[in-house]
Chain A
Amino acid sequence: MQFFGGSAAAEMTPSPAAPPGTATGLAGNNANMLYIFNRNGVCLLYREWHRPLHTLDAQEDQKLMFGLLFSLRSFTAKMDPTSVDKGNLGVPLLPGQGCSFYSFRTNTYKLSFMESPSGIKLILVTHPKTGDLRDALRYMYNLYVEYVVKNPLYVPGSPIKGQQAELQGSSRFERVEGSGQQVHKLPILDSNPIQGKTNSG
């Protein structure tokens, strides 16, 4: 911000007030939305905790989000100043080719992104003051492996269904988001899966 005339500029675009019960730093949840996509652009899981504005239907919204990430990754790889080997913009990247981005931040939200080499994309939209969520996303990927991939009834590539998964998954995810620093101390087996849900308000 200092390039544009001092730090006052930062104050001119204040962050939105945190929604009730989502104060940063306190126990609770400051996540807005979570998306999980697979390589084919199928939205495996979508959850929202705080999202007052809906302009598109869910399917359009998910498609748009996937498209944004796809293009942004292609774009960031193209811009990479450290690498000589670049494809043309828009030309599909081979796996392992090019760099990727971790997050971007606007004045109203922060989007954190992780993609596994197998093409699973985890997207978390949170309050803009949230810190680095890469560890949290890795942890969520582990949860996905443990509770989704290893579930014999789950058909790979289909959306994640089931009340059990919803409850357990969401409460664990909420805890992860609420306390980014402590993700590795979380118990794997949650004795009271609904607790996180009631906290979120």
Chain B
Amino acid sequence: MAPVVPRSGDAVFANVERVNAELFTLTYGAIVRQLLTDLEEVEEVNKQLDQMGYNIGVRLIDEFLAKSNISRCVDFKETAEVIAKVGFKMFLGVTATVTNWDVEGTTCSLVLEDNPLVEFVELPDTCQGLYYCNILSGVVRGALEMVSMKTEVSWVRDMLHGDDAYELRVKLIKQVPEEYPYKDDE
């Protein structure tokens, strides 16, 4: 008797505690701004955002699993769908679409039409190399790592760089099998 897997995160989204979207956007903006001041290099900021996202993802996965009542996914395709339809909805209030599968079924794109993080944001000329939403890629990477999937996540399209949508490329590197964690001689 597997629990019913929700196909959208609407129900969960309706039940969780939410914060004001503008407060959220502005807080995130303030963090990025502060990182730019502190680290000076745009590259470093990208790295730092990714790391912050990773740390969030590592914790977020448990909340996601507990609240969405999702059991194990059968394959990576299902995982991607669940992230796009349930995960993004639950934590960001938007849904993504999954497209551009490669033939092996290990790489796909999550396309966000709408992104609450970038409200009111314009990138100045000095920050053109900045992936403003790099925290999201870190979150996805961290969360998937906790369910034994090593992934690489990168941005392909970014509205702040003049593209028409946000596209996050997710590549599954390997699925780590469960291993007995203790050594015999311990």
Chain B contacts for A92, CB-based, 8 A? 177-180
Report how far A150 CA is from B56 CA in the complex, Å. 10
Query: Does B120 interact with chain A (Cβ within 8 Å)?
Result: no
Residue of B nearest to A87 (CB): B177
Query: Does B165 interact with chain A (Cβ within 8 Å)?
Result: no
Query: Does B34 interact with chain A (Cβ within 8 Å)?
Result: no
Chain B contacts for A94, CB-based, 8 A? 148, 175, 177-178
Query: Does A116 interact with chain B (Cβ within 8 Å)?
Result: yes
Question: What 1/0 mask marks residues of chain A from 81 to 108 whose CB sits below 8 Å from any chain B CB?
Answer: 0000000000011111000000000000
- Which of B66, B71, B149, B181: most chain A CB closer than 10 A? B66
Pick the contact of A67: B61, B74, B146, B180 (CB < 8 A).
B180
Least Cβ–Cβ distance between B91 and chain A, in angstroms? 13
Report how far A150 CA is from B60 CA in the complex, Å. 9
Report how far A94 CA is from B148 CA in the complex, Å. 8
B65 touches A40 (CB 8 A): no
B149 touches A95 (CB 8 A): yes
Least Cβ–Cβ distance between A171 and chain B, in angstroms? 20
Considering only CB atoms and an 8 Å cut-off, how many residues of chain B contact the other chain? Answer: 26
A117 touches B65 (CB 8 A): yes
Query: Does B43 interact with chain A (Cβ within 8 Å)?
Result: no
Question: What 1/0 mask marks residues of chain B from 63 to 101 whose CB sits below 8 Å from any chain A CB?
Answer: 101110011111100000000000000000000000000
Given contacts A92-B177, A95-B149, A118-B147, contact A145 B66 (CB under 8 A): yes
CB within 8 Å of B: which A12-53 residues: 39-41
14 A-B residue contacts at CB 8 Å?
A39-B148, A41-B182, A92-B177, A93-B177, A93-B178, A94-B148, A95-B72, A117-B65, A117-B147, A118-B61, A118-B146, A119-B178, A145-B63, A149-B59
